[in-house]
Every structure is written in C-alpha cells, then in structure tokens.
Structure 1
Amino acid sequence: MTVPRSTLRLQFHRDFTFDDALAHVEYFAALGISHLYASPVTTAVPGSMHGYDTIDYTEVNAELGGEAGLKRLVEKLRAHGMGLIVDIVANHMGVGGPGNAWWQDILEWGRHSAYARYFDVDWHSPDPALRGKVLLPCLGASYGDELASGHIALRFSADTGRFFIAYHDHVFPVCPIEYASILKAVERADLVALADRFSGLTTQPADQPRAAEGINALREFVAQNGLPAIELALETFNPADPVTRERLHRLLERQHYRLAWWRTAADEVNWRRFFDISTLAGVRVERPEVFDAVHALIFRLYAEGVIDGVRVDHVDGLAEPREYCQRLRQRLNELREGNPYFVVEKILARGEPLRDDWPVDGTTGYDFMNDVGALLHDPEGAEPLAATWAELTGRSASFADEALIARRKMLAENLAAELDRAARALHRIARDQLSTRDFTFTAIRRALTELVVHFPVYRIYPQNSVRSEVDTIYFNQAFDAARRALARGDHVVLERIGEWLGGASSDEGSGGAARAQTVQQGSNGSNASSHSGSSRRTAQTVFSQLTAPVAAKAVEDTACYRYGRLLSRNEVGADPGEFALTVEQFHASNLERARRFPHAMLATATHDHKRGEDVRARLAVLSEIPQEWGATLRGWSTLNAPHRRELKGNSDVTGAPAAHTWAPGPDAEAMLYQTLVGCWPTELAPGDEAGVKALAERVAQWQLKALREAKLRTNWLAPDEAYENACREFLFDILAPQRRDGFLRELHAFVERISAAGAINSLQQTVLRLASPGVPDLYQGTELWDFSLVDPDNRRPVDFAQRQKWLVATPPSEQLANWRDGRVKLGVVQRMLALRAHLPALPDQGVYMPLQIRGSRAAHVIAFARRYGNAYGIVIATRLAATLLDASARTPLVDPERWGDTAVETPEALASRALFDWLSPGAPKVDESGLLYLRDALVAMPVAMLVEEGVPSV
C-alpha cells in the first residue's frame, strides 16, 4: 500500500474545477503534499458547492471538468510524484431535482421500478394513503392550497415524449399507464390511436418496454404534428377550473408518489433520509447490485490507476458498516496490485474504539482534532467558565443537560417518522411472540425514545444479530438511563427491546416465538427462525440508522449552538462536556493510534468544522484566564445594552428559566462575543471601516446559521425573521464605525491581549498534527491562519498563488516577528512536511515515545520522540502560554529565561549529543544526563522539531 505522507483536502465545485487545481500542483508539491484529497467527484445536483448530493454515480461531474479534466489533473500529479484520494458518498443521493434517474424511475414505476430496492422506501406504510407510494414533502404550502393556486400542473416534454407534473422548479414523472386516460380526455382519433398504445399497460417490468415504445411514438407524433393536440389534452387537467382541477387531483392520486407540504416530512416521510434532509435519500448499498452500481466509476478509476484510495463519507449511515468495509476493501484489492488507502468518516466518543474488524486504515481525523483541541485547554478554566455561562444566560452549566433536551426535541419534531419506523420494526417482533403480542406500539415507542435519547455513541454494530462486548458497554449505559427515566410498567418492554436489539433472548421469549411460528407454519421451524432473525436484523438496522442521525443533529447541530461555556470545544467530533485533556491522555491516544491504526488521518480543520483551527486555538486561551474573560463579558454586555432590540411577544420557547424579550438574548450575545474574539483577523485595525464591515458580513452569516441551528427562538423550518433581523442589527450596531472608540477599541484590545498566546496554540497543534502517528491532512488554505467560521465561510476561495509566493527556503523562525500574516505557520507546515519526505520512516514507522518534563514550568510543555532504528526526532511544544507571556507581549514566544530549570528528559541514546532544529537555526545540546533545557531548545520558536542532522540545503 502506498501510504500518503500527507494529504491536502480540496473542495471542488463549478467555481473551483480540476483545471483550477491543476494550476497549483507545483505549489502543492513544493509545500510537501504527497496526495490531494478530493471532495466527491461523482455527478452532483447542478450547482452543488460540496458534491455530497450525488445524482449519478457513473459519471465524473461535468461541472468539475468531467473525466477528461480529472485525468489531466492526475497526469500532472503523477509528474510531480503525487497521488489522489477521493471522497465517496455511498450512504445517500440527491433527490431534490429531476436529475437523479434512479429516483425518477421509482416515482414513475413505483414498487416495480428497476431501482425500487435501491432506496430505503417503506412500500408497506401503515398509512393507507402511502401504501405503494413515496411521500414527496416538497410543497411550500398545503397540497390543497398549492393545487388550487395553479402551482401544480400537468405538462408535456416534446423532447422526451413524456407527461410530467410540474411544481415550480420540480419535475415529477407521470406513470405511463396513465397516458391512455390523458390522451383520451380529448375525443380526437389521432390521440385515441396513440392512447391505444398504452391501453392495458401495468407497472410490471414486462410491460415497461411496451410503454417505452408508446412514448417513442408519442414523441414522433409531436415532432410531425406539433403540440396543439397535446395541449388540448393538457387543458382538460387545467388546475384553474374546479372540474379539470379535480381530474388533475385524481391523476395525482394514481401516481406512485404523494406530493405533500414540506412540514409533513418529519412526521410522515416513508423513506430513509440523510439525517433530516428531505432532498437526500438513503441508498441501500448493503444490496450487492446497489453496491456495484454505486461504486462502478470508483472501481474503474482505481483499476485504471487514476485514484489511489478512498475516503468514505458517513459510514455510520450504512446498514452494515463492517460488511461494507470488508466488501469494499476486497473489491479494490482485486482490481489492482497492492492495497488502497482507505479511511472512513467516523465520529468516536471518548474511549470508543474504531472496530478492529473493519479493514480500514483509520478515520478521517475528527478524533485527533478533538484530542489536540482539548489539549490546548486549561482544565482549571472549566468550572469558572461554566459558572459564568450559567449566570449570564440562565441556562444549564452542563452540556449534558442541553444535549438531552436537544435529543428529545429532534426525536419529537425532526425525526419523528424515523422513530416511528424503528418502533414499528420492534412492534412487528413483539406481535410474532405470544409473550409480547400485547406490547402496544405506543409502549414500545415510549421505551425506545428513552433508549435513543440517552444513547452515548453514534450506534452499535451487531454481528449475527448479537451485540459485541463493546456494543454492550454503550448499550447498557443507555439502557440503565432509560430504565431510570421510564415508569416501572414500561421496564418489561424495555427489557425485551434490549433482547431484540442484539441482547441474549430469554428462554420463554424464544420459546414463545417458536411456538407462535409453529402454529402459523406447521412443522417448518427453520422458517420461524429465519423470520425471527430477519426481523431482528431489520430492527437493529433501523435502530442504528436512528441513533446516528439523532446524535449528529441533536449534539452537533443543536446543542453545540445552545451551549457556550467555551465555543472552542463545540466542534464536530468533540464533546463540549469534556473540557480539557492532559498531556498524559494525549500521549495515550497517540500510542493507541500508533498501535491500531498508524495510518489514520490527522485533521485540525475540515469542510465541516464550525470554527477554523486558529479560531479554536485563540479561544482556548480563555480557559487560562476565566475570571478576566468573565469580567470582560459582563463589561461588554453592559456597554452594548443600549443596542439591544426589544421584541414584543417574543420569548424563549425552550422553557429556559426566564423569557427574554430582547434580541439577541444573553446566550446568543455571549456566543457572539466569543465568535468576534475568535475570528478577528490578526491584522485588522478597529478603524478599518471596510475590513470591519467585511468581518461583520461573515459573522452575520454565522450568526444566522447558529440561531437557526440552536432552534430556540428561530429555526430553519419556521424562521422568526423579526428576531433574526434584530440580531443582525445588533451585530452591525456594535461594529459600526462610530464604535471605534468604544466597543471596537475594547474588542481589538482584548484580541491583542490573547493573540500571541493563541498563535502559540496554533503552532502547537500544527506541529503535533504533523509529527504524531498518522497521516496529516491539510484543509485547503489553512497553511496560513484559519480564522474561518462554519460553512460556507470555511469554503471561501483560497489564494494559492499568494501562498506559493510566500514559500521560502529560510526557517520559519525568521517569520516569527511578522507572525500576523501567517507566514510563520506556512513555514512550519512546509518544514515539517519536508522532514517527512527526507526521513519518511521516522514519522511513518517510528516508535512513539512520550517524554517526561521536569522543572518549574513542566506543565507548560509537551514533548515526545519518534524513533526508527538509531534515528530520533524530538518534538517540543509550548502549551498554556498565557501566563508565561508578558501582558504587553506582541510576539508568540516565551522569553527563554522564563523556562528556568524546565527540561525535557530525552532518550538515553541522545545524551551529550547536539540536535538540529528544522524550524529554526538552533542546535541545542543534550547534557550528559540526557536533559534538554527549554531555555536552549525554544529560543527562536515556541515549537521545535529536533533531529541529529541539519536541514538539507534546498
């Protein structure tokens, strides 16, 4: 396997194509990148800015440059000794427009479509109005209103010869078996003759070729005779007239879909969505024919040597992640010599292992991002910051409280249909057993709700319908919490749910099931066992496909926007309730990764991050000065109180201790101040009106998304525009030019107060990412300071030409004095990647050795060694530097004399040896007892990468 030395993630879209990336390959190579890491390249919804809404798995997206453009890029990469990793989206497809041929075929032919089993559609819905149909929650108002207003209409395409239903930009096919009734609506011989071609048609696959022949005849008729005759037929379904509108309604009722108000989705959608997004439909990639169709292009590109590996998006959405990974690895191995690089996007809770039976190289790095982010925080700041948050806002000081509230809200309001689906799967099992046939659907749903809201990880992974030991650990945590929350009468139901979801069955329960099946099927016990096993597997799958989106939407997309103790810990893959990580815990995580998944990705920024890596690094400084920050928050709140907007009748609908009738409200205001402190550009002056306004526009985008994601006083489904506008006005008021001598001056002064310490944090996490066990990933553009906010801010265009211009051969220490422009970070990235190329075995195969620190400042240092054979690399980084820097410090470097007696205990083999720093001209010497003093090692930079040989000449 060709393991990447490093990857660089690029977000491709119509404004940044393969040819655009090709133009910067020389820069990527000079930076030291070994592999580009591309967002999805399959055809997505037109205009998609991310590519995760695939509509055609078989073609490279033409908007990105098509397959020819992709191969041009790869040819240039190969010429520079580089490769390509691609993101694949096997879990879901975009279904919000007419471009998805598989989805359109389902809408046209229903259960008899060739693709009916490609998607997770419940064709046997308990709702009679949805049996054999697909709910399409796309209407802007109720169905009756939209029909009466004429927004829903029957149309005809001369190009394709097909009738369709049009609703604004939406297009829905009409089943060909209805063409006869449409054409016969006008008593014309030529149309009646055409209608006869469709008479007697059924939706059976055997009849579909005859329908195609009729459609061709219809297209030819229009080509020869024009549209007048067809337009007469369409007029008989005109929604403007009550009589013809009723005919149109009856036609719609006979389709294999039901048009519905978008608000119905959460309660009634009868197909698996990606999270709660009704324009993304889950794909049944566990089926062999679907697996082959989804990966056909990827397999060909890999077989042809175009790509070197894959990153699988949202692996937890799949029915069987383990089997999927095994199948994908096997197929890729069969296509070409060697092993592909293969990582999965997986959110891991603290202590949750990536499963050993997944044949992958690791995760995409959210776990490392969480580890290194927590390491930057001072644990002493946790309680005072939580107390300040609770005092100012009236909300809980505990993130767990917010997460539990958010989980209940998501289940009740956004994922109710998915909860019902899981409850029905369990109810079917209950009905098949004599001992549980009286368990009601409502009781099962009630117990299931408590199990889901308390589930501590994304999901479980039963094998042969039995939970593993690891699964059981997390399941039991949820089970015990659910038991405490439920009434005693529901405990027996919960017990049985625990059995059905992969636990050991009770003898009575199993016997009851067997007896019930024997009565129904005679002596065919094998059928009973098979049916029971299938029902359990189905229940386990839908349960897992419920807990994962609940965790993602409730924690990451709701609670993380409600809880503001310190926003640097509110990140994808992190638990804001876990405030800090000790050096020893960080080392333990690195050792575990080195042992189990030494080639996992290491990320500190992604296309999904909520705050840029340097925003988080700066905000982490607040953990070191919690009292000062608390006083600052209170002072700014008082200073800006006159700019708050009073909103009559507006209140916090979540039941917070007090209803706030002003905007933005204390919680949103406190989060806003943190955001401004975190993302204020290093070179922005408060008197720069244009610069401050540009920042305000960016923050306003974040603010709107944050308020809606929080779902407190506004949300995506029912926006409170008055409140949102008032929040925006508050933001622009406090950043207005006339505040330059008031709030703006204070904001800028505070940012100046912590920026140097924040930069030290940034350089610390940069070096740790580039030296820890694993494959460092660089998100586009973050080689300079990354003060971005949540998307779309973190997907803004990147000036790669400027970055290439700033690449220099001199050590990054020479850029430290001008650290504000970010070139020092760029230099660190370049030098660390150069080391990985110069001594590849050291970071790739080298043993990871935590190093002890002694002396008065030991708490402010982290150090470790990488050893391969007789070669050593020593990594040293300053941490928790706010109290070591002078109040007037304007350079991110601790005065060497302040380190005093602080020293690193190096490996015995390095005693009395000189080491060379790849980041500065320094060559500190280890003394005869093996001690390396920080006053010698951190003279020119707050971080060091030491080896026994100098930097090669460039």
Structure 2
Amino acid sequence: MTPERRDPVVPTATYRLQLQPDFPFGAAAAAVPYLASLGVSHLHLSPVLEAVPGSLHGYDVVDHARVRAELGGEEGLRALARTAREHGLGLVLDIVPNHMAMAPRHNRALWEVLRDGPDSPYARWFDIDWKAQDGQVLLPVLGGPLGDEIGRLKVDGDVLRYYDHVFPLREGTAGLPLPQLLDAQWYRPVWWRLARTELNYRRFFSISELIGVRVEDPEVFEATHATVLRLLREGVIDGLRVDHPDGLADPGGYLRRLHEATGGCWTVVEKILADHEHLPASWPVAGTTGYDALRRVDGLFADPAGCGELLGHYRHFAAPQTDRGGDWEATARRAAYQVIRHELATELDRLTRAAGRVCAAAPEPALRDRAPWALRTALQELLVRMEVYRPYTPGDAATVVTEEAAADARRAFLVPEEAGAVDVVRDLLLGRYGDGPEHVEFRTRFAQTASALRAKSVEDTAFYRYVPLLSATEVGGDPGRPALPPEEFHAYCTRVQRDWPVSGTVVSTHDTKRSADVRVALAVLTECPRRWADLLAEVTRAGDDVPDAQLAWAAWQTVFGLGPADPERVAGALLKHVREAGLHTSWTEQQPPYEEAVARFVTAGPCGEPGERVRALRAELEPHIRANVLGTALVHLTMPGVPDVYQGTEAEYLALVDPDNRRPVDFPPGDGGDKAALTRAALRLRARRPEAFGEAATYEPLTAEGPAASHCLAFARSGRVVTAVTRLSLRLAGAGGWQDTELPLPPGRWTDVLDGSREFTGHARVADLFERLPVALLERAGDEAGAE
C-alpha cells in the first residue's frame, strides 16, 4: 500500500539517541523535555526493530515485524512518540535494509531456511549461493575442526545444539547417526576459520554473524519494511536514516522503491563519499548522513604545513621499523591487498565464479578461454585500485574503474597475453557485452565486493596503521590530505545548499573513531608539530617497554586527545587499535605476548606518570583546543544541511571508538559550559528562523580583511545570520593576534546571539567580535530581519 503523497516533514535539527537495554524508550521519553529545550525538531533513534538479545546497537535485526521488546516494544515506541509530540518533537528512525543477524534461534526467517532449504518461502530473503558447498549453508560456528568438535554437537529432539547455538533439523533426519545427520541438513556447521575462504552467503563486510538480505526482491522489500512503513503512515515517525546502502544489489532501485513506499518522507543515506565524488543525482533522497560534511569541517582546523611537518616527525620516530604507515597511499594499498586475499577471499571467489559463468556462456570470442586464476587476479588488481566505494551503473564504472587503473592492473601479470583478463573484466563492468542476468549479477557482485573491501581495508585497517595524525583517520576522511583551505569548504557548502540543502551533517556519531572534541584537540598538534615530537622523544626513552613505535605514537596521541580518563577505556581502545591494524596481532590471530606488552606499556606510559607530561601540554594548549571545539560546533550547526547532534555532544564529549562512544549518557549532561550555551543558542536560532537555513536559504562566504584574515572563517545564511569562527588559533597567537583584521558584514545591524548586549555594523573588528569567545553568531536585528 502506497501512502498518500504529502509534503515531507523536514527536520531543522536532529538529536541522535543510541537506544539499548540500559537506555530504552522510557529513558528516552524522560529526556524529551530537556532535549526539546535544546531547540532540535526531531529525535533520531538508532534501530528499533527486534535485535539479538542484549545488543548495544540494534543493527543485528532478527525480526522486521516487531519493535524490540527490550526497549519497550511498539507501545513503548508509541509512548515515546506521544511524549515527543507533546513537546513539539518528531522522530527519525535508523533502518537496516542490508543485513540481518545470523542467529537462527532468534531469526525465524533464517530458522526456516536452515530447516527447509531453498524451497522455504524465506529462501529468497537471504543472499545465499546454493550452487556452492553442495547446497549447504556454511555456518562458521565451531571452535575447531569438526573432528575435534563433533562430540560437542548434540541432538535434542528436533534441534541440533552446540553450546549456545541451536539449529533446526531437516524433517525426518532426527534419528540418523550424527555424521549422516550432519550431511543430511541444509546447512553445515564448520570451524569458524573457514569463513575466510568457504562461506557461501553474503555478509556485512567480513562479519559472518550478519547475513545479507535481498531487498531487491519486491516481496522481501515489502516483508522487511512493512512495520516501518506502517509507523510512517500512522505518523509515529517522520523520516528515515538508511544504514549502509552500498551493500545492496541496487541502491538506486531500492531508494526509489523506498521513496514511493514512504510517500517521499525525509530520508538520508549512510553513503561515504570521496572528496571528488558526488551523491548520485538520481537518488530520491534528501542527502547523506553527513560524513562528507564531517570531513570538510575537520579539515578547516588542521594546519596544512603542520600536517606535513608532523608526518616528517612521525617517519623519523618510526624509522627503525618497516611498514609502519608513513605513506598513506601505500598503506591503503597494502591493506586492500591483505583484506581481499584473506578476510574477503570468499567474496572474491564468488565474484570470480560469476565472471567465469559470463565468459563461459558468452558468444563473443574475446571472452572465451579465460582461466579462473587470471579472472581472479584481474578482479583483485582492479578492486584494490578503486578510490571510491563502488560503481552504481555501467556508466559509473567508466569513472571509477579507470583506464589508468586498468593499465596498472595489467602489470601484475607476468605473461602479457594473460593480462587481457583485465580488459575482459573492465568491459563487463562497462556493459560492453550486454545486460543479461549473468552480466547484471557480475556487476552487482563486483560493486558489493568493492564496497566491502573499501570499508574493511580503509576504515577498519589502514586507518589504524596510518597514525601521523589520528584525527584525520575518520570515516569519509582522507588522511593523506587532512587539511582543507577555507575556499574548498566554501565551495562544498555552496554546492550542498544548491543540490542537497536538507542533507544530513554530523561531526560525531555512533561510528566515529573519536568524537569531534577529541579530534579537534588532536588537530592543535598540527600547529605545534616540533613541540609534540620533542615531547614524545622525552616520554618514549630508549629501553622503555614500548611494543612498537607505531603503537606508541598512536597511544600518546590518544591520551592527548582524550585528556584524563579511566585507563581501562584507553587500554580497550588501543587493544582494538592493534587488532584492527593487524600488524602484530588481530581479531582472528591474537598474539597474547604482544597484547600483554601493549597493556603494560599503556599502564606505565600514557596512563602512568609519563602521561602527566602529555596531559600538562594539553592543559597548556586548552585555549586553542577550546577555540577548535567551539568553532567546530558552530560551523556544524549553521552550515548548509540538517545538523545531527550525537547524544551528549552538546556539552564536552570525549569518546573513543565503539563501544566507548555508545555508552548511555545522562540528561541533562551537567554543566556544559560555553559549548552547551552555544549549541542551545544555535539550535534555537535554527528553530526560530528556519527560512534562513532551509531549502530556500542561501550561503554566502564572507572574507575577512587584514593581517590575520586567513584565521577567520565566516559565512552568512540568507543575509540574516552570520557565523564567524577562529581557525588555527595557536598559529594566530604566534603571529601577533588579530591586530587590525576586520570582517565586512552584510548590510544591517547585527546582534550577537551568544551575548545579546553587543551589536555590530559594517566592517567589524575581528578582535571585538571574538572578545569573549573565539566564535561569533550574529543575527540581523530590527525590521530588516524580515526584508528580502
């Protein structure tokens, strides 16, 4: 049923709540009066459908038909919606179309597929290759080879048990001897290590506990979206955030179907864009969830010259060791090779089989006689050279799988004649040999594998190996170019206001590796790189128990960015860091001696007495950190787009990678100081003057004049609001301060929103603008406020 078409409710600002059993709908409802007072228009809820019991995030959905009981069920959600409406707030919901939890005892649809096989009505739900593994779904759950574990597999009535795992038995097989019983099932429990190479279902990245869902099938779409669509029709929720659309077979087709089914509600997608990449114009969405904005805001507060100098100091610091991430492009490429050959080997195998089927059945002689190993090599070499997450159409493939990349890929072949496999693969991607079902399947598999490889190799591996400036290793970022000039920021904002004016913007999320307040503290190090290098040379003395230089550099930056913190939080984040980096230990190949050495180093060094010297430097640089914190917050809240405020970040919020950043927060979060006052003032201004920020608004860069002009970033919104912030304040102080620098304001009288007693006109002295705070938010005063 298609809902009646109506104008979508567009938020002015959203507030993200991370729901979990310790923070259910009732706790969210209790926080509503406070959250409404901030000035947001909508609460942004993490996934609310039934998930694996105890889940702290909700992205492991097991039942799309039910609202999660642990959060309060559908009645709890409706009660939250009523409370929110009473306070003038709506709800935006995070949905997960790409995958479900591989948890048969909780996932009824999957249970029936494992029991009844490909004839199950639910078989079409899941992206399973039934032609592989003799038609059995591999379940990588055993702690060792089957021969070692078979004694721990128990038949219990009509189910098979293995510790906490429970699986259904195919009808008529319960009485068979165990070896024959296992052979007779539609699934096969195997050693968990086989997931790397033998798996025959699509996963979320390389996480075998999450199985891909085929929402490209209309019936599957209807079944998995019925509850969410009903909640939209009934006005319980107003908008959607779509998680990981790049994993889908046809993201554009999915989003068009979703747009039609929702009546065109406000929808943003978690799409990670490279600097040169734009969101597909054909997608009927409001925009992205905002990682592209995060990258531009962060870039404003990093010093380009200092980034280069910091990189040089890091290379010297780590010089005795090899392969320690001193070159971003090389680091990313090495990580991509490792991931495609190991973690995603099974995905590459399936893609190679898809290519082989096209070639074998093709009438074109150019496609014939291509050995599987040559196709696999060509695919690998093209995939690791992609600089975006995926292509969406054959036309996209021409721009993301370039001739330059193909020429480079050919050099991987020792025999030039075999290098023709690269051209075969590229031509298939470009649609030069037709659009039959096998051609479409191949292009789809390539795109899905590409997105998994990019996410796993860049976000989850290379970002943990390339550590000169940790704040640059953030989702959507380019660590090879952390700093951006104001002109590039202005150009981005101008384009967003023109093309995607109600796209989402963020600076902290449940997935950021460091909260914005941690990242902007680290950015100050680009303004004093020599001082940082000298300090690390002192605190990391020869003979200290330092596991390796890469880890030491990352650890010291971690405690600088975080400030005083529980050592367990730091140790947990750094343990995750070294396992993700995969240089000395990993999640699947853990090396206890190395990990124990890391723990000792963290306790004795960064979290011990030497760490006090790092924290002392942080305290000394606090005014400049504060300038970055306030500047980042104000730019985020007033730039084009709909700002999403992550829970607790209206005040100082210092968090590391998940699960550290998913802990429940208190409401209100205590005395938030200047940041909380600024956030409240900016959000209330957006709510009071939506016309200055919405779809019909304008964005105008403002250019300061004078000796310190480059340190003032300013812009006007619709001629009614002016934002001005300080950038690179440590460099500014070293150069003598603002002196006679002025900011020409648009016509009219301008009132300081953060201090209503001050007014400005004409050319305002920047020193006066920033007399009390390193930022200024101005509103046009008087009758002129309503004038065009």
3-state SS, counterpart of residue 370 of structure 1: helix
Equivalent position SS for 1:916: strand
Residue equivalent to 1:904? 743
Structure 2 counterpart of 1:9: 16
Query: Comparing both chains, which one has the higher relative contact order based on Cα–Cα distances under 8 Å and sequence gaps of 6 or more?
Result: 2
For residues 135-170 of structure 1, the C-alpha deviation after alignment (integer angstroms, 9 at most, x for no partner) is 0111011111001xx2111112xxxxxx11100000
d(CA) in 2 for partners of 1:481, 1:571 = 28
Contact conserved, 1:916 with 1:950, CA < 8 A, in 2? no
Give the Cα separation in 2 of the matches to 1:798 and 1:260: 40
Alpha-carbon distance in 1 for matches of 2:75, 2:137: 37
Q: Which amino acid aligns with 2:285?
A: V
| 1:882 alignment partner, SS class | helix
CA distance in 2, matches of 1:736, 1:92: 39
Give, in angstroms, the shift of residue 643 of structure 1: 4.0
2: CA distance between counterparts of 1:298 and 1:855? 55
- Taking the aligned partners of 1:922 and 1:614, their CA distance within structure 2 comes to 29
Distance 1:306 1:92, change over 3 A: same
Aligned-partner Cα distance in 2 for 1:132–1:748: 58
CA distance in 2, matches of 1:84, 1:573: 26
Cα offset, 1:388, TM superposition: 1.5
1:783 paired to 2:641: no
- Separation of aligned partners in 2, 1:935 and 1:730: 45
Q: Does 1:734 align with 2:582?
A: no
Contact 1:272 1:418 in 2 (8 A): yes
**Paired residue type of 2:147:** G
Please, which of 158, 170, 183 is the counterpart of residue 175 of structure 1?
170
Give the corresponding residue for 2:4.
Answer: none
Among candidates 194, 207, 213, match of residue 283 of structure 1: 213
- Equivalent residue, structure 2, for 1:428: 357
- Residue 353 of structure 1 aligns to a residue whose secondary structure is coil
Provide Cα deviations, 1:359-414, integer angstroms capped at 9, x if missing partner.
00000011101110111100001222111222222334211111000000001110
Deviation track 1:455-500 (CA, whole Å, cap 9, x = no partner) reads: 11000001xxx324x8525544533432344443333111111111
In structure 2, the residue matched to 1:554 is 457
Amino acid at match of 2:680: Q
- Picking from 478, 488, 492, the partner of 2:420 is 492
Structure-to-structure mapping, 1:116-265, within 5 angstroms: 116-125=123-132, 130-147=133-150, 150-156=151-157, 163-179=158-174, 181-182=175-176, 247-265=177-195
> Which residue is 1:884 aligned to?
732
Partners in 2 of 1:771 and 1:375 — Cα distance?
15
**Does the 8 Å contact 1:452/1:478 carry over to 2?**
no
Q: CA deviation at 1:109?
A: 0.9
Paired amino acid for 2:343: N
Q: 2: CA distance between counterparts of 1:950 and 1:749?
A: 47
Of 522, 531, 537 in structure 2, the residue corresponding to residue 634 of structure 1 is 537
2:297 matched residue in structure 1:
372
1:416-442 deviations in Å (ceiling 9; x for gaps): 000011111111111123432210000
Matched, 1:363 2:288: yes
Question: Do the aligned partners of residues 945 and 801 (structure 1) sit closer, same or farther apart at CA in structure 2, a change above 3 Å counting?
Answer: closer
Quote the Cα distance in structure 1 between the aligned partners of 2:606 and 2:330: 33
User: 1:288 Cα deviation (Å)?
Assistant: 0.5
| Aligned twin of 2:409 | 482
Aligned equivalent of 2:5:
none
Does the residue aligned with 2:123 lie in a helix, a strand or coil?
A: coil
CA offsets per residue over residues 777-813 of structure 1, 9 Å max, x none? 100001111210001110112111344xx4xxxxxxx
The question of 1:402 aligning with 2:285 is answered no
Aligned letter for 1:409?
Q
Q: Where does structure 2 lack aligned partners over 5 or more consecutive residues?
A: 1-7, 784-788
* CA distance in structure 2 between the aligned counterparts of 1:901 and 1:708, rounded to whole angstroms: 51
- Answer whether contact 1:594 1:774 (CA < 8 A) is retained: yes
Change (3 A) 1:97 1:104: closer
Q: Is the 8 A contact 1:914 1:923 kept in 2?
A: no
User: 1:614-633 alignment to 2 at 5 Å?
Assistant: 614-633=517-536
Please say if residues 376 and 880 of structure 1, whose CA atoms lie closer than 8 Å, have aligned partners that are also in contact.
Answer: yes
Q: Is 1:306 the equivalent of 2:249?
A: no
5+ long unaligned stretches in structure 1: 157-162, 183-246, 334-338, 506-528, 645-662, 682-693, 807-821, 887-893
Residues paired across the two proteins, number = 768
Matched residue, 2:505: 602
Cα distance in 2, alignment partners of residues 387 and 944 from structure 1 = 35
Contact 2:651 2:676 in 1 (8 A): yes
Q: Confirm or deny: 8 A CA contact 2:497 2:641 kept in the other structure.
A: yes
Q: Tell me the secondary structure at the aligned position of residue 578 of structure 2.
A: helix
Distance 1:736 1:446, change over 3 A: closer
1:702 aligns with 2:702: no
Deviation per CA, 1:298-343: give whole Å up to 9, x if none. 011111110101110000000000000000000111xxxxx41101
What is the distance in 2 between the residues matched to 1:294 and 1:736? 47
Query: Residue 579 of structure 1: SS of its match in structure 2?
Result: coil
d(CA) in 1 for partners of 2:306 and 2:757? 34
Q: CA deviation at 1:553?
A: 0.6
Looking at structure 1, the residues matched to 644 and 93 of structure 2 have their Cα atoms a distance apart, in angstroms, of: 13
Cα deviation, 1:19-55, whole Å, max 9, x if unaligned, reads 0000010000001111000000000000000000000
Choose which of 668, 679, 684 in structure 2 pairs with 1:829: 679
Alignment correspondent of 1:715: 586
Cα RMSD (Å): 1.7
Paired residue secondary structure (1:311): strand
- Helix, strand or coil: the match of 1:565? coil
* 3-state SS, counterpart of residue 605 of structure 1: coil
**CA deviation profile, 1:575-596 (whole Å, cap 9, x unmatched):** 2112210000000110111111
- Counterpart check, 1:447 vs 2:372: no
Which residue does the alignment assign to 2:774? 942
Contact 1:45-1:97 within 8 A present in 2 as well = no
* Match of residue 256, structure 2, among 326, 336, 345: 326
String of CA shifts for 1:608-653, please: whole Å, max 9, x gaps: 0101110100000111111111212222211xx4540xxxxxxxxx
Aligned partner of residue 645 in structure 2, secondary structure? strand
Please report the TM-score for the alignment, with normalisation by the length of structure 1: 0.79
Cα displacement (A) at 1:535: 1.0
Residue in structure 1 matched with residue 633 of structure 2 by the alignment: 766
Q: What SS does the aligned partner of 2:196 have?
A: helix
Please give the alpha-carbon distance, in whole angstroms, between the structure 2 residues aligned to 1:33 and 1:746.
Answer: 40
Instruction: Identify the match of residue 75 of structure 2 among 35, 56, 68.
Output: 68
Q: Distance in 2 between matches of 1:498 and 1:802?
A: 53
Provide the TM-score with structure 2 as the length reference: 0.95
Taking the aligned partners of 1:478 and 1:781, their CA distance within structure 2 comes to 44
User: Quick one: structure 1 residues 634 and 68, their matched pair in 2 at CA, closer, same or farther if it must change by over 3 Å?
Assistant: same
- Separation (CA, whole Å) in 2 of partners of 1:294 and 1:712: 40
Instruction: Tell whether the 8 Å contact from 2:9 to 2:239 is kept in structure 1 after alignment.
Output: no
Q: CA 1:735–1:587 in structure 2 vs 1: closer, same or farther (change >3 Å)?
A: closer
Alpha-carbon distance change, 67 to 273 in structure 1, aligned in 2, over 3 angstroms = same
Give 1:765 deviation, angstroms: 0.9
CA distance, structure 1, for counterparts of residue 466 and residue 604 of structure 2: 24
Equivalent residue for 2:306?
A: 381
Q: Is the counterpart of residue 89 in structure 1 residue 89 in structure 2? A: no
**Partners in 2 of 1:368 and 1:917 — Cα distance?**
26
Deviation at 1:903, TM superposition (A): 1.2
CA distance, structure 1, for counterparts of residue 700 and residue 182 of structure 2? 68
Q: Note if 1:346 corresponds to 2:271.
A: yes
| Partner residue, 2:113 | 106
Post-superposition Cα deviations, 1:653-673, rounded to whole Å, max 9, x if no partner, equal xxxxxxxxxx42110011000
Q: Name the CA distance, whole Å, in 2 between partners of 1:413 and 1:632.
A: 39
Which of 17, 39, 43 is 2:46 aligned to?
A: 39
Q: After superposition, where does 1:849-868 map in structure 2 within 5 Å?
A: 849-867=700-718
Asked if the contact 1:455/1:477 (under 8 Å) is kept, the reply is no
Provide the C-alpha distance between the structure 1 equivalents of 2:532 and 2:544, rounded to a whole number of angstroms. 21
Alpha-carbon spacing, 1:586–1:485, altered in 2? closer, same or farther (3 Å): farther
User: The residue matched to 2:731 in structure 1 has which SS?
Assistant: coil
